[in-house]
Amino acid sequence: MKSNKIPVFYAMLAALCYGVSAPIAKIIQTELSPVFLAAFLYLGAGVGMSAVQVFQNDNNNEAQLSKADLPYTIAMIILDIAAPLLLMFGLSLTTAATVSLLGNFEIVTTSIIALVIFKETIGRRMWLAITLITVSSVLLSVNNFGEIVPSSGALLVLGACVCWGIENNCTSKLSLRNPLQIVIVKGFGSGLGVLIIALIGGNFAMNLPYIFAALVLGFIAYGLSIYFYILAQRHIGAARTSAYYAFAPFIGVVLSLIFFREVPTVSFVIALAVMIAGAYLAASEKHTHEHTHIKFEHEHRHRHGDNHHMHEHNLPFNGEHSHAHIHIALSHIHAHTPDFHHSHTHRKT
């Protein structure tokens, strides 16, 4: 079992790559429509990660997508078509800083869906974090506390977060597969889908410099970000990866304040403080108890010597490798997260 520090590092890299998206997309949006921009962000991810795949030598060490993964793959693409459309329209109606910070509501939807539908374990500390993040999101969803009028832009961003919350859990079910392959399928599938919508809606624009900028931003903020996000999900699950990913909006907020000189309101500052507290609680949760692994078989990239992969080989191997293997029944105690090897039930959380 890989040390949790490495998956957390992957999650933080994902956050860093995505954190630049809102303020830079706000600039690109001055020349490209929201739909057209969303299309090229995902296409940039597909094109960029395809180029990375050409130069990567260890793709054979990863398990590939199969027919059994098709339902989650289709759901992932459809949700990734809807989410960026909602986000880009929301970005056009509110400030980049608000969009960046409100993106943390994705943690709430991801965690609730992970618990209710996919039965991922969430403890009291995580629930407190989810509550604080929800409160912060509500604070950012209104224009004026005196009138309590919902902001249409903020509500659209919340809708995108719900779509991404469902999509995160679908992607988590694929996280043992080749992450490059997942990002490429996601990028081209979602990008082409949104591009067709843009062309039907007459949102076509041939501004080549801005299209190129959108492709580059998509490679970084969607391609590399999703790639590292999937690597983190393998080991710490959907809910906890989203919690660490909460670092991303803070990057966007800082860049927005620098680029656009947006003066934060009192409610914005309060929401930021509450969001930081929630993100800290989510990221610092610990989970240790005696648990039992049942006997089962699956395929993914792994290495031996972690007390979970102790099967024998007919052929020699060196380091990490991928093949179908059987896990024996085993009971032990150690700190763990709800990855594919620790999806057991709990009497108490």
Query: How confident is the prediction along the chain (349 residues), in pLDDT tens digits per residue?
Result: 445 678 888 888 898 888 888 778 888 888 888 888 889 999 999 999 999 888 876 556 777 888 888 999 999 999 989 987 888 788 788 776 677 667 767 777 888 888 888 777 677 887 888 788 778 777 766 655 554 456 788 888 889 989 988 998 888 888 788 888 899 999 999 999 989 988 887 767 778 899 999 999 999 999 999 899 888 887 777 777 777 776 676 676 677 677 767 677 777 788 788 878 887 787 676 656 565 656 666 565 656 555 655 656 666 666 565 656 566 666 656 454 555 554 545 554 4
pLDDT at residue 349, rounded to an integer: 41
What's the Cα-to-Cα distance from 335 to each of 6, 56, 260, rounded to whole Å?
A: 15, 33, 44
Q: Which of 41, 187, 25, 170 is nearest to 90 (CA)?
A: 25
Which residues contact residue 118 at a Cβ distance below 8 angstroms, ignoring those fewer than 6 apart? 169, 172, 173, 238
Q: 220 near 85, Cβ under 8 Å?
A: no
pTM of the predicted structure, to 2 decimals: 0.70
Region for residue 307 given its phi and psi (left: phi exceeds 0; alpha: psi -120 to 50; beta: otherwise): left
Q: Which residue type, as a one-letter code, is found at position 104?
A: N
What is the domain partition of the chain in residue ranges?
A: 5-288, 290-335
Q: How far apart are CA 232 and CA 124, in angstroms?
A: 22
Q: Which residue has the tokens 């590399």?
A: 224
Distance CA 91, CA 131 (A): 25
